[in-house]
Every structure is written in structure tokens, then in C-alpha cells.
């Protein structure tokens, strides 16, 4: 195919008439594995005010979208990008320009960390990102379970699950931070953001409803946390995070926590449970598989820490 002339590219925020094509490319639309329904759903979500396409950039040539990237600033001072996606024959230099623009958009939005979760539908993205300073961290598996299909024993009385009364209390922040010590789940992220920002991100994922956030107690002593989100629209319970203080690990308490989560899902009428796990975390992978979770998707995680704008960095 004849290569596009880079001098004719115009890069800017995607116009309404280019949004569909830009989303299609950014989310890997050239692959047969991607359903057009994804773009339709995203456009509908934008009209309903559920997402922002302000960070959707398109490169056009002769009024045709030839490349795009989508950057979404999220709560917790983190931004996620999809893409860059290019049509065949477009030079890699255009991808670099798109990534640089997305990075600037994230910084202007106050994000301190830029992440990309890259699936097989867009296999060239990783090389583009690493060329611009992103670090490939790991593979993240998405796991599902259907509690009604699993005849599990109810949780024992070894642990108590106490609802979190205020997740912004310093004591809760300190507890969560301590559960990260020695974690096998994406330890590279630890320290890249303030713990308050991390909890704000969990809060956003929980639909701004921490009803199912718990302190885990044993014999009256707080030893860990469980953070869940009830997605009512699709009858799903998401296990966002659970962690134990290091002295209480490898004592079978993870099984007690999962029993609690599974039975909570049944009690509130959830059809399925969703979670994500770092493939390198062998103990967690084994635990989830023991409880009937199965693999549904894998993403490559890329990260780029962002220096705050207008702040001198030594």
C-alpha cells in the first residue's frame, strides 16, 4: 500500500463526525476480534455523560482518519490511553506524535500516572509506547466466576468483615498502604501515587459508593481490607482489591475472604464476580482457580509516571 504523506496529517481533537472512526482505530478496530458494538456503546456513553471524549485525538489526511489515540483522565490522578491506532502505511512517527499529545493531555488534567492496557486486538501498540518511555510491567488476567454454580461452604467465624465507615480516614489509608507491603500484584505501581489518590480511584470504580468496602478483623484485630463494587446494571460484583497485613498471609485466610465475597454476591443477587490479577502472582492465581474463577481476557500493562506540570523536578 502506498505510504501516507506525513506532511498532510492534521492532528487535533476528534470532531464529532470523526469520533466513531477515531475510537475504532484507537481500540484496535482493524482486528476481527473487536466488535463494532464497542464503538457504538462508547459513543452512547459519551452522550449520556458517562465518559469524556475530550482526550480523543484524530490524525486526518484528506479528511480521512488515519490515526488516533484516546486519553481519559480518571479520578485518583491516573489516566488511561487506548491506542495509538494507525491505518496500514502510516509512518510510526505519527504514532509518536499522538502519544506525546496524549501524555500532555494527561498532565494538563492533573494525572500523575499514565497507563495502557493493551490487548491482542492492537499488537503494535506496545512498541509505540515503549519507544516513548512507557515501561512494560506485566500481563493482567481478567477472571470471572458464577457463584450460583459453585456449591461453597459458607464463611467460618475466623474472620469478621466490618464496613468501612470513612475510607478517607488516615487510619484506613495507612491500613491499605500496609497491605501493599510485599504484594505480588503489580509492585511496580507502589509509590507512584499517594494512597489517597489510589483510594479515590477505587471509589470511582465503586460507582462512588463504598457500601461494600470492609476492614477484615481476626479476634478483634484489624488485619486487612476487602474493596468491592456492586455494578447493579449487569448484576455483577467486582473484587477491586483485597489484601492482608504480611504476618497474616499464607494462613488460609484468603480462602475465608473469597468465601465471604462469593456468599455476599449470592446474597445481593449478583450473577457473576469479576476480578483482575497479575499473572506473576502465582498464589493468588491458584486461589482464584480453586474457587472456580476462569480466565476471560488478558491485557499487557504499560506504565509511564508523569511529573506534575509547572513543578521543578530535580
- In a domain, residue 97? The reply is yes
85 and 27, same domain (yes or no): yes
- Number of Cβ atoms within 10 Å of the Cβ of 240: 18
167 and 86, same domain (yes or no): no
198 and 271, same domain (yes or no): yes
Report the DSSP pairing between strands 113-118 and 78-86.
Answer: parallel
46 and 102, same domain (yes or no): yes
111 and 43, same domain (yes or no): yes
| Closest to 183 in 3D by CA, of 249, 109, 270 | 249
CATH number of domain containing 219 = 3.40.630.30
pLDDT in the model for residue 35:
55
Mean pLDDT of 248-271: 94
Mean per-residue pLDDT of the chain: 90
pLDDT in the model for residue 302:
97
Three-state SS sequence of the chain? CCCCCHHHCEEEECCHHHHHHHHHHHCCCCCCCCCCHHHHHHHHHHHCCCCCCCCEEEEEECCEEEEEEEEEEECCCEEEEEEEEECCCCCHHHHHHHHHHHHHHHHHCCCCEEEEEECCCCCCHHHHHHHCCCEEEEEEEEEEECHHHCCCCCCCCCCEEEECCCCCCHHHHHHHHHHCCCCCCCHHHCCCCCHHHHHHHHHHHCCCCHHHEEEEEECCEEEEEEEEEEEHHHCEEEEEEEEECHHHCCCCHHHHHHHHHHHHHHHCCCCEEEEEEECCCHHHHHHHHHCCCEEEEEEEEEEEECCCCCCCCC
pLDDT per position as a tens digit, 168-203: 999 999 999 999 998 888 888 877 889 999 999 999
64 and 110, same domain (yes or no): yes
pLDDT in the model for residue 192:
83
The answer to whether the beta carbons of residues 140 and 276 sit under 8 Å apart is yes
With a cut of 70, say whether residue 72 has pLDDT above it: yes
- In a domain, residue 256? The reply is yes
pLDDT in the model for residue 314:
28
Distance from C-alpha of 210 to C-alpha of 188, rounded to nearest angstrom: 26
pLDDT per position as a tens digit, 91-130: 999 999 999 999 999 999 999 999 999 998 888 899 999 9
Distance from C-alpha of 193 to C-alpha of 65, rounded to nearest angstrom: 35
148 and 294, same domain (yes or no): yes
pLDDT in the model for residue 310:
47
Rounded to the nearest angstrom, the gap between the alpha carbon of residue 266 and the centroid of all alpha carbons in its chain is 25
127 and 247, same domain (yes or no): no
pLDDT in the model for residue 217:
97
pLDDT in the model for residue 30:
56
153 and 28, same domain (yes or no): no
Residue numbers of the domain that contains 98? 6-133
- In a domain, residue 306? The reply is no
- In the structure, what pLDDT confidence band is assigned to residue 313 with cuts at 50, 70 and 90? very low
With a cut of 70, say whether residue 312 has pLDDT above it: no
129 and 148, same domain (yes or no): no
Rg of the chain (C-alpha set)? 21
Q: Is the dihedral of CA 282, 287, 292, 297 positive or negative?
A: negative
Task: Work out the burial of residue 214: count CB atoms within 10 Å of its CB; fewer than 13 is exposed, 13-18 middle, 19 or more buried.
Answer: buried
The total number of structural domains that make up the chain:
2
pLDDT per position as a tens digit, 122-170: 888 999 999 999 999 999 999 999 988 777 778 888 999 999 989 999 9
Amino acid at each position: 500500500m502506498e505510504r501516507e504523506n506525513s506532511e498532510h496529517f492534521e492532528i487535533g481533537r476528534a470532531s464529532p463526525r470523526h469520533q466513531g472512526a477515531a475510537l475504532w482505530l484507537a481500540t484496535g478496530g482493524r482486528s476481527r476480534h473487536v466488535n463494532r458494538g464497542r464503538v457504538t456503546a462508547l459513543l452512547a456513553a459519551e452522550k449520556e455523560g458517562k465518559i469524556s471524549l475530550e482526550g480523543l485525538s484524530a490524525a486526518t489526511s484528506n479528511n480521512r482518519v488515519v490515526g488516533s489515540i484516546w486519553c481519559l483522565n480518571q479520578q485518583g490522578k491516573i489516566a488511561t490511553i487506548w491506542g495509538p491506532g494507525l491505518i496500514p502505511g502510516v509512518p510510526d512517527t505519527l504514532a509518536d506524535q499522538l502519544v506525546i499529545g496524549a501524555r500532555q493531555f494527561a498532565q494538563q488534567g492533573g494525572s500523575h500516572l499514565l497507563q495502557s492496557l493493551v490487548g491482542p486486538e492492537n499488537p503494535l501498540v506496545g512498541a509505540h509506547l515503549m519507544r516513548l518511555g512507557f515501561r512494560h510491567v506485566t500481563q493482567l488476567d481478567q477472571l470471572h466466576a458464577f457463584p450460583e454454580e459453585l456449591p461453597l461452604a459458607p464463611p467460618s467465624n475466623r474472620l469478621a468483615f466490618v464496613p468501612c465507615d470513612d475510607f478517607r480516614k488516615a487510619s484506613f489509608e495507612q491500613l491499605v498502604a500496609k497491605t501493599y507491603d510485599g504484594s505480588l500484584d503489580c509492585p511496580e505501581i507502589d509509590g507512584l501515587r499517594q494512597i489517597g489518590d489510589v483510594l479515590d480511584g477505587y471509589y470511582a470504580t465503586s460507582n462512588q459508593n463504598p457500601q461494600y468496602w470492609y476492614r477484615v478483623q481476626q479476634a478483634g484485630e484489624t488485619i486487612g481490607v476487602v474493596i468491592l463494587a456492586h455494578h447493579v446494571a449487569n448484576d455483577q460484583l467486582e473484587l477491586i482489591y483485597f489484601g492482608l497485613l504480611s504476618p497474616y498471609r499464607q494462613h488460609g485466610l484468603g480462602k475465608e475472604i473469597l468465601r465471604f465475597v462469593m456468599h455476599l454476591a449470592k446474597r445481593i443477587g449478583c450473577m457473576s464476580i469479576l476480578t483482575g490479577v497479575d499473572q506473576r502472582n502465582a498464589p493468588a492465581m491458584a486461589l482464584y482457580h480453586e474457587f472456580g474463577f476462569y480466565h476471560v481476557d488478558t491485557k499487557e500493562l504499560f506504565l509511564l509516571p508523569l511529573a506534575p506540570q509547572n513543578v521543578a523536578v530535580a
